[in-house]
Amino acid sequence: MKKGKSKILEDEDVPHLRSADGAGTCFDLFNEKVDMLKRKDPLGKPSILMAILLCHKISILISGVFALIKILMLTTGPLFLHTFIKVAEGRESFKYEGFALTAGFFLAKCLESLAERQWLFRSRLIGLQVKSSLTAAIFHKQLHVLNATKKTHSPGQIMNYVTVDAHKIGVAASAALVIVILTVLVNSPLAKLQLKYQTNLMIAQDKRLKAITEALAHMKVLKLYSWEKHFMDAISKLRSEETKWLSFVQTQKGYYLILFWSSPILVSSATFVACYLFGVPLHVSNVFTFLASIKLVQAPIRSLPDVVGAFIEANVSLSRIVKFLEEPDMHTRDMKKQRQDDVNICINCTDVSWEMNTLKHTLEDINLNIKHGEKVAVCGEVGSGKSTLLSLILGEVPYINGTVDVYGKIAYVSQTAWIQTGTIQENILFGSNMEPQRYRQAIERSSLVKDLEMLPFGDLTEIGERGNNLSGGQKQRVQLARALYQDADIYLLDDPFSAVDAHTSTNLFNDYVMGALSGKTVLLVTHQVEFLPAFDSILLLSRGKIMQSGTFDELSKSKEFQDLVNAQKTPSDPKCQEVYASNKRPKAAEIEFDNNVSSEERDDVVSLEGDQLIKAE
């Protein structure tokens, strides 16, 4: 405050967060407790709630001690009041009893205030740490969860887990547990009803958030096809359903408020009426003491609806988070050291599937050994399993029957460019330290130099959301530069040249694949058949099987490979131009004329047709 009085506070002036409160520290501790529970019961699933309690058991105990001190000091108030009234009536026990009571009452209130501050501070700190650990666990799970799980847990739902559910659990951690348990036991029917309403409310929120996320992500398509009204009606319908369940939840909370706010008044009124009816004498001392006691419990009783609601919401949110965290992970494998026979990739699988118990396997009979520094091309028709083969090496395919061993660090370039919001430099570095020479080489080899010169701020230009201010080819080349900068041992390239023109793809193949990756192991999925002769080995996939493998010269004798090459040739290929020209250019004798047309008109038409065809070619 002294520094803020003298100058405007900057970011450097704000103290850093304690390491114990950081998300990384909380997540590591949470993982440690989960692993401990797994070791105790290998066959069962570890309890997330128990792991949270084990992480913060000491903090909860200390917070409980402060809460007990606060309650004990609070209960001394009516006792002091009762004694004060006796002193006022002239019934002193000793001479300076009034001064002693005043000093004692002052000390009790000071101790009560200090204990309450510590209790609230430590409870909220526990809630913050719980929220941090669960948020980190959800993000970590998102990076390792199976692709099939993402169908049931959309990005909108996962964001809901982080922004809504983890926060509610953190808030509930700061409530008085014993009071809530007693209250829930007494009001279990109402609590069950509120639990049902809260569950349906969270489901409705997920549906609405998913629809809004999809609409915002594809807003350009909605505008082009004029689907705004349709999607607005759909979102409004989902919002109406959410509002219905929200009204049920709030109405239930209203019942709680009326019940608990009126209970202290009803209790005191009923007590005095009973004393009058049964003839119990009422004196100033016992009346004021009773009213003071009622006032002590009045605030906790009135806060019970909020506390009960917080615990019910936390119960719903925790069950949703636990369901997501218990989803199966991908087959992650640690980076292994190089084998003695210089093999980087070794695959021996009888069948590979994306779904369990399927009759049709995605890949079958995959036996593959790729040595260090080898360039391998993967070809095949659409749907033959080329991308699945790369996913198998990455460990993303959930169900495999066999072994997959990968030796070395992997860099992967997907078929659809993945760009994060930020500068081009941040997308290329991707969290790595800046090395100017390696960074410059990555830009040059990825043919990005001219593109960066055209941008207003070069590589510091901000890329819009999902790279919407870059073309498809630019996004793909940024992705290639990012992979090259990582300096991996194995490069998996899933058709990276499909989004660029023929000239750029040729430059990228020569400078990037054959130049910058000359000493690396490369597995390239491609449809550009003109690049195939440069590879050490070619895999021909069809219907999930490796039909043939070998060099370009060896496969050229195969009819299946020749059919694939002829089907995928484009007019940009010189060989294709010859075939295209010989097949498409008509001869003069092949053009039919009407008998009334003169010979000069025929020559003009033939000449015109030939010029148009040449120009078109």
CATH number of 350's domain: 3.40.50.300
Please give the pLDDT value at position 523.
92
The verdict on residue 590 lying in a domain is no
The verdict on residue 583 lying in a domain is no
Same domain? 316 vs 304 = yes
Q: Of 110, 143, 176, which closes a domain?
A: 143
Same domain? 361 vs 508 = yes
Question: In terms of C-beta density within 10 A (0-12 exposed, 13-18 middle, 19 or more buried), how is residue 258 classed?
Answer: exposed
Same domain? 189 vs 124 = no
Question: Contact 298/263 with Cβ under 8 angstroms?
Answer: no
pLDDT digits (tens, 9 = 90+) for 267-319: 677 777 777 777 767 676 667 777 777 677 666 766 766 777 677 777 777 88
Q: Above 90 in pLDDT, residue 485?
A: yes
Same domain? 136 vs 226 = no
Q: Above 60 in pLDDT, residue 397?
A: yes
pLDDT, mean over the chain: 78
CA 489 remoteness from chain centre: 28
Question: Contact 539/378 with Cβ under 8 angstroms?
Answer: yes
User: Which residues face 345 on adjacent strands?
Assistant: 370, 406
Same domain? 305 vs 408 = no
Q: Above 50 in pLDDT, residue 390?
A: yes
CB atoms within 10 A of CB 501: 11
The verdict on residue 599 lying in a domain is no
Which residue do the tokens 């080899």 mark? 445
Please give the pLDDT value at position 277.
76
pLDDT digits (tens, 9 = 90+) for 21-61: 888 899 999 989 988 888 888 888 888 888 888 988 899 89
Nearest to 122 by CA among 37, 61, 191: 61
The verdict on residue 614 lying in a domain is no
3-state DSSP helix/strand/coil percent for the chain, to nearest 5?
Answer: 65, 10, 25
Give the mean pLDDT of 417-444: 88
Q: Above 80 in pLDDT, residue 337?
A: no
Same domain? 101 vs 243 = no
Please give the pLDDT value at position 343.
82
The verdict on residue 587 lying in a domain is no
The verdict on residue 600 lying in a domain is no
Same domain? 390 vs 246 = no
Same domain? 198 vs 120 = no
Give the integer Cα–Cα distance in Å for 288 and 89: 14
- The total domain count for the chain is 3
Give the mean pLDDT of 118-128: 90
**Model pTM above 0.85:** no
As a residue count, the chain comes to 617
CB atoms within 10 A of CB 451: 20
pLDDT digits (tens, 9 = 90+) for 231-245: 899 999 999 998 998
Strands (E), 283-342: none
- Which two three-digit tokens encode residue 544? 């999930």
Question: Contact 333/393 with Cβ under 8 angstroms?
Answer: no
Residue 76: what residue type? T
User: Alpha-carbon torsion 380, 382, 387, 388, what sign?
Assistant: negative
Please give the pLDDT value at position 577.
39
Please give the pLDDT value at position 585.
32
Give the integer Cα–Cα distance in Å for 561 and 554: 10
Report DSSP state, residue 460.
Answer: G
Give the mean pLDDT of 83-111: 82
User: Alpha-carbon torsion 467, 472, 473, 477, what sign?
Assistant: positive
The CA radius of gyration of the chain, in Å to the nearest whole number, is 37
Question: Contact 388/363 with Cβ under 8 angstroms?
Answer: yes
Give the integer Cα–Cα distance in Å for 331 and 201: 35
pLDDT band at 451 (very low <50, low <70, confident <90, very high): confident
Q: Of 109, 143, 177, which closes a domain?
A: 143
Helix axes 284-325, 188-217, angle to 10 degrees: 40
The verdict on residue 589 lying in a domain is no
Same domain? 136 vs 277 = no
- Which two three-digit tokens encode residue 204? 């409705």
- 16-33 in b/e form (b: 16+ CB < 10 A) is eeeeeeebebbbebbbeb
Please give the pLDDT value at position 481.
92
For 546, the 3-state DSSP assignment is strand
CATH number of 272's domain: 1.20.1560.10
Same domain? 239 vs 178 = yes
Give the integer Cα–Cα distance in Å for 354 and 134: 29
Same domain? 432 vs 362 = yes
Same domain? 135 vs 223 = no
Q: Residue 395's domain spans which residues?
A: 343-568
Give the mean pLDDT of 211-218: 84
